[in-house]
């Protein structure tokens, strides 16, 4: 995935030029900023922890044990991979960030899949896979919601970083670059956002509902421009389902703002 993203953005650009912790995010509003946040360093730490997480998950599967996210080593692996504090403290995206941010996306998505599929045995049929994934979601809602919210935010940063590269090119080249370099990055971002909104159609713990909806709201200007009219209508419907499914969770203002932003993106 990292190679694909970097190739899409940088490869397309060069061809055209020559021929682009759970709840941590919400708490950051009142917590000190992480000084000297380094995206490349965080991405490297995440990659190292992802390998350790994969090995640990394999060990759990062999023994039939379930993870305890409140204790090491899995708590530390999770914190390094889905590092909300560092991501929030990073300076605005720059074009040179594309390689490490793409690397971090690949790591986070892979680790998220590892957690969601924990306990799925090799050769399991689709019915069994769905049962295990549903059990993991029910048992580890906090961790799965946090991981998905993080991936959404990180994919949004990838898209905005790629857009900087494309928009720095001569005006005559940008339309083609948006099609060949940005669309392949924007579509996975839309799918991640839609999945997040679809999850919100069911009742979540209030803190998880707020965490997820905040991520959807904060990234709407990144993913909404890539949506089709049909997708926007579906998303608007799911947003209202999310509002109805999570009364009193404190997401109403976010839902209203996201719906308005989606409307503007279609103009």
Please write the tens of the pLDDT for every residue from 32-83. 444 457 999 999 999 999 999 999 999 998 898 999 999 999 999 999 999 9
d(CA 243, CA 138): 20
Rounded mean pLDDT, 9-26:
33
**Helix intervals (H) in the chain:** 2-6, 12-18, 24-27, 39-63, 74-81, 84-89, 98-116, 126-139, 141-167, 171-177, 183-199, 206-223, 229-245, 252-265
- Tell me if residue 125 falls in helix, strand or coil: coil
Q: Is the pLDDT of residue 185 over 50?
A: yes
221 vs 8, more confident:
221
Q: Are 127 and 135 in contact (CB under 8 A)?
A: no
Query: Residue 179: is it exposed, middle or buried by C-beta count within 10 angstroms (0-12/13-18/19+)?
Result: exposed
Residue 10 has pLDDT above 60, yes or no: no
Share of the chain above pLDDT 90, in %: 79
Check: CB of residue 20 under 8 Å from CB of residue 13.
yes
Return the pLDDT at 24. 33
Give whole-number Cα distances, 11 to 146, 166, 226, 255, in Å: 33, 12, 21, 37
Distances in Å between the Cα of 158 and the Cα atoms of 24, 167, 242 are 21, 14, 26
Please give the tally of structural domains in the chain.
Answer: 1
Q: Which domain holds residue 47?
A: 2-265
Contact by Cβ (8 Å): 77, 49: yes
As a whole number of angstroms, the distance between CA 246 and CA 151 comes to 22
81-140 tens-digit pLDDT: 999 999 999 999 999 999 999 999 999 999 999 999 998 888 889 999 999 999 999 999
């Amino acid at each position: 995935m990292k190679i694909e993203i970097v190739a899409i953005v940088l490869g397309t650009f060069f061809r055209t030029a020559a021929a682009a912790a759970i709840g941590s995010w919400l708490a950051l509003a009142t917590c000190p900023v992480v000084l000297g946040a380094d995206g490349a360093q965080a991405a490297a730490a995440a990659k190292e922890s992802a390998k350790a997480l994969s090995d640990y998950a394999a060990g759990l599967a062999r023994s039939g044990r379930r993870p305890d996210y409140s204790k090491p080593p899995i708590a530390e692996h999770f914190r390094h991979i889905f590092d909300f504090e560092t991501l929030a403290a990073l300076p605005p995206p720059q074009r040179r960030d594309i390689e490490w941010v793409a690397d971090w996306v690949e790591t986070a998505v892979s680790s998220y899949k590892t957690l969601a599929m924990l306990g799925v045995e090799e050769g399991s049929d689709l019915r069994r896979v769905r049962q295990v994934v549903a059990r993991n979601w029910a048992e580890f809602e906090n961790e799965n919601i946090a991981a998905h919210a993080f991936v959404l935010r990180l994919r949004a940063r990838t898209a905005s970083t790629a857009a900087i590269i494309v928009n720095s090119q001569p005006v005559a080249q940008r339309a083609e670059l948006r099609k060949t370099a940005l669309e392949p990055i924007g579509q996975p971002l839309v799918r991640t956002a839609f999945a997040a909104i679809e999850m919100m159609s069911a009742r979540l713990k209030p803190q998880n509902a707020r965490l997820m909806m905040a991520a959807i709201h904060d990234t709407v200007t990144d993913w909404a421009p890539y949506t089709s009219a049909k997708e926007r209508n579906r998303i608007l419907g799911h947003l209202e389902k999310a509002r109805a499914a999570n009364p009193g969770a404190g997401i109403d203002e976010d839902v209203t703002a996201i719906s308005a932003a989606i409307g503007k993106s279609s103009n």
